[in-house]
Amino acid sequence: MGLAHPGRASTLARSARAVRIQPSPDSSRIVLEFAEAPAYQHFSLKGPERLVIDLEGVLPDGALTDIATRLSPQDPYIASLRVGLNRPNVTRLVIELKTAARAEIFPLKPAGEYAHRVVIDLKGDARPEPVAPAAPVAKSPPTPAATPAPAPTPEPRRLVTIAIDAGHGGEDPGARGARGSLEKTITLSIARRVRAQIEQTNTMRAVMIREGDYFIPLHERVNKARRAHADIFVSIHADAFYKASAKGSSVFVLSVQGGSSAAARWLAKRENEADLIGGTRIDVKDIYVRQSIVSMSTDAQILDSGKLASRVLEEIGGINDLHKAVVESANFAVLKAPDFPSILIETAFISNPEEERKLNDEVHQERIATAIVAGLSRYLATNPPLHRPDKTARSV
């Protein structure tokens, strides 16, 4: 049975102004963009697996004509695409699937540089395992005075897991420089360099939250880090401001009180709007993003995050101007994991022409990565994480 979107039906035929296909390692996304929101219906067919979307008042022309040429052979779920006029004033999009998939289809109102959008997300049938809440720290019962504590058993050093989050991605480009540089591209390039340097150590291992150019909602970035048993979360960004003269690097930690300055609050608001631009269902919620941060471990998390941020800020200050010489704080949604230190690094202002040039320079990107890894190493030298027997240190 078809499912109808209760959009405003129109007798005026319109063309799609843009079509984007954005595969990721575990999902596929199709975005159809229109000047006006179309009504649509969708249903599934078997033998082979297909998803059918009927777009009312839409012509099979414009950006829809070459939709099949935009498909990558490596797309994890989409085998082929075809578009045609199904009946007067109704264009049908048929998505043939490589395997069974769970489809989420939803509209998005205009946001950022985009007009009305219809988003088609294809994901595996199996939903990801829920992330268990952080366990409270149990209080040890008092030890009788007559019983001496046993000597601690030496434990092997393990690799510390660093979750590297390249800000924005896919449908969400982030900030844009005067020369056309996109924040999402620069952050991914720097994140890959951080990963490469971490993998050269014998103390850390890297987990990339985003491997390519695709969108991940803010709450899912936190959950991916937790599913990877991350010890530290580092989110990499490139700042923007309406004044081109603004410059310098910043490092932020979570603040549940709002922010350390008006500029910090403004920046957090802009970053937290990534889901509106990147596109996620409004009914998707996550306990770590929407709940009040009153977890028993959050106070300690913020304290440890501050220590880590200070080390990283000091190192970045050696290779770039600092916007402020102190760690800043704001209510960033992506920093709300309650059980590991989390920091957000604004590497520079992409809106500043000189800093935009430096952000695109491979040598400078490598220096930023070196500073981040040096800050991580300094923090871990005095703040080792709790033992967890999952990964032991590499020998060199």
160-382 architecture in CATH?
Answer: 3-Layer(aba) Sandwich (3.40)
Range of lowest pLDDT (127-136, 220-229, 351-360): 127-136
DSSP E strands: which ranges in the chain?
3-5, 14-16, 18-24, 27-34, 40-45, 50-56, 58-62, 78-87, 90-97, 102-108, 116-123, 160-166, 204-208, 232-239, 250-254, 328-330, 342-349
Does the pLDDT value for residue 176 go beyond 70?
yes
Long-range pairs, 51-54, Cβ under 8 A, ≥24: 51/94, 51/95, 51/97, 51/101, 51/103, 51/120, 51/122, 52/92, 52/93, 52/94, 52/95, 53/92, 53/93, 53/95, 53/105, 53/118, 53/120, 54/2, 54/86, 54/90, 54/91, 54/92, 54/93
d(CA 284, CA 312): 33
Cis peptide before 48 (omega within 30 of 0): yes
Average pLDDT, the chain: 84
CB neighbours of 358 closer than 8 A, spacing ≥ 6?
320, 348, 364
Q: What is the pLDDT of residues 326-353, one digit of tens each?
A: 999 988 888 888 889 999 999 999 999 9
Domain positions in the chain: 3-123, 160-382
Q: How confident is the model at residue 269 (pLDDT cuts 50, 70, 90)?
A: low
Does the pLDDT value for residue 136 go beyond 60?
no
Q: How confident is the model at residue 391 (pLDDT cuts 50, 70, 90)?
A: low
Average pLDDT over residues 386-395: 51
**Within 13 Å, how many C-alpha atoms sit on residue 132's CB side?**
5
The pLDDT assigned to 333 comes to 84
Would you identify the CATH topology of the domain 3-123? Immunoglobulin-like (2.60.40)
Secondary structure of residue 85 in the 3-state scheme: strand
Average pLDDT over residues 74-101: 95
Question: CA geometry: angle at 186 spanning 343 and 374, to 5°?
Answer: 45
Percent of the chain at pLDDT above 90? 65
* Residue in 255, 234, 381 with CA at minimum distance from that of residue 316: 234
Please check whether the two domains, 3-123 and 160-382, share a CATH topology. Answer: no
More confidently predicted of 345 and 142: 345
Q: What is the pLDDT of residues 108-132, one digit of tens each?
A: 999 888 999 999 999 986 554 555 4
d(CA 225, CA 350): 27
Question: CA geometry: angle at 35 spanning 31 and 37, to 5°?
Answer: 70
Percent of the chain at pLDDT above 70? 75
Strand bridging mode 14-16 / 58-62: parallel
Average pLDDT over residues 145-169: 73
Full strand arrangement of the beta sheet holding 90-97:
3-5, 40-45, 50-56, 90-97, 78-87
Range of lowest pLDDT (34-43, 236-245, 249-258, 289-298): 289-298
Q: What is the pLDDT of residues 278-311, one digit of tens each?
A: 666 555 444 444 443 334 446 778 899 999 999 9
The pLDDT assigned to 336 comes to 84
